[in-house]
Amino acid sequence: MLEKLNSFPPLSMVEGTTDRELIRHNEYVELLKLYEQLYVQWFGIYIDFLRTLMTIIATANSEFVKSPATLEPRQIYNTWIDAIANGTDALFREPVFASKLAKAFSTMLDVKKASDDLVESSYRMISIPTKSDVRKLYKEIYLIKKKLRELSEDKKASSTASSLGVRVDNTKE
């Protein structure tokens, strides 16, 4: 369906459409594709989880039926909670399920990145500072702060050493 959307001419693709707008259109489609992927992946995880849960509950219930003595509600709860805890633990440890979870999480990050890129390209069109511009600035600030801290520590170390009459050996062992 999304492939068709890609070939469907959007409103902006009329005469005079710039390359930049075409790129933005492709970015939207890419984002939609990622959302679809994410939905499919999470739905798969949900189904796997639900199946496991139903199996666990069915097994636990059959144990209750077999049990000759009348169980207290607390005993039933404990058995039930232990069964679910052990079952989910086993499911989460399964390599296939764990990799599915990791994949879905990775797609979430892809969605976030794609939407950030989209916002970024929109900001660039109207000359507004973008996230990557701000990050560059943060890096500059970090490096300046780091240098300042190091200089002040050097100064402190020198004054401590001179007041104690010892020489600070700056060579690495």
Which parts of this chain interact with another protein (CB under 8 A)? 77, 81, 84-85, 88-89, 92-93, 98-99, 101-102, 106, 109, 112-113, 116, 134-135, 138-139, 141-143, 145-146, 149-150, 153-154, 156-157, 160-161, 164, 166, 168-173
CB of 14 to another protein, least distance (A): 35
Q: Closest approach of Cβ 58 to another protein, in Å?
A: 17
CA distances from 35 to 38, 42, 125, 166 (A): 5, 11, 25, 64
Report, in Å, the least distance between residue 65 CB and another protein: 22
Contact (Cβ atoms closer than 8 angstroms) between residue 45 and residue 101: yes
Please compute, for residue 146, the number of CA atoms within 13 A of its CA located in the half-sphere on the CB side. 6
Minimum CB distance to another protein smaller for 15 or for 89: 89
Closest CA to 27 of 118, 106, 108, 122: 118
Nearer to another protein, 22 or 137 (CB): 137
Q: Residue 139 CB, nearest distance to another protein (Å)?
A: 5
User: Closer CB to another protein, residue 21 or residue 83?
Assistant: 83
CA atoms lying within 13 Å on the CB side of residue 1:
4
Cβ closer to another protein: 22 or 141? 141
Question: Using an 8 Å Cβ cutoff, are 84 and 56 in contact?
Answer: yes
CB of residue 143 vs another protein: minimum separation in angstroms? Answer: 8
Determine the residue type at 153. Answer: E
